[in-house]
């Protein structure tokens, strides 16, 4: 998934990392005000395999979140490239991510 860095905010929240029960980070929310909301192919429940070519395997939650944030903040590159797992998950209006 290629996300153009057209807004100040990416607008995704993740859970997971090697120090959690989900070893790879996955998307739990997509904010309608961020650029991620506009990206075709990005869905809640998808696992992030790599960010701008950097693998997410073996990273803690904090490390993965920092890499995503820093990659998005780097305006010398106009796009963020995420390699995602396929997902068929479609939340309904009552969906609440796990705490």
Domain range for 36: 2-84
pTM above 0.75, yes or no: yes
User: Looking at residue 63, which CATH number applies to its domain?
Assistant: 2.30.42.10
12 inside domain: yes
Burial readout 3-18 (b: 16 or more C-beta within 10 A, e: otherwise): bebeeeebbbebbbbb
* CA pair distance 89, 14, nearest whole angstrom: 15
> Is residue 45 helix, strand or coil?
coil
Domain count, the chain: 1
pLDDT per residue as tens, the chain (99 positions): 999 999 999 999 999 999 999 999 999 999 999 999 988 778 899 999 999 999 999 999 999 999 999 999 999 999 999 999 986 555 555 555 555
Burial readout 60-74 (b: 16 or more C-beta within 10 A, e: otherwise): ebeebbebbeebbee
99 inside domain: no
């Amino acid at each position: 998934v290629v996300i153009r860095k057209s807004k100040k905010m990416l607008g995704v929240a993740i859970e997971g990392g090697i120090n959690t029960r989900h070893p790879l980070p996955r998307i739990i929310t997509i904010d309608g005000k961020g650029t991620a909301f506009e990206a075709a192919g990005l869905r809640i429940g998808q696992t992030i395999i790599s960010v701008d070519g950097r693998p997410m395997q073996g990273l803690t939650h904090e490390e993965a979140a920092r890499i995503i944030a820093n990659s998005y903040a780097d305006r010398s590159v106009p796009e963020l490239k995420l390699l995602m797992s396929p997902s068929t998950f479609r939340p309904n209006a009552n969906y609440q991510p796990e705490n």
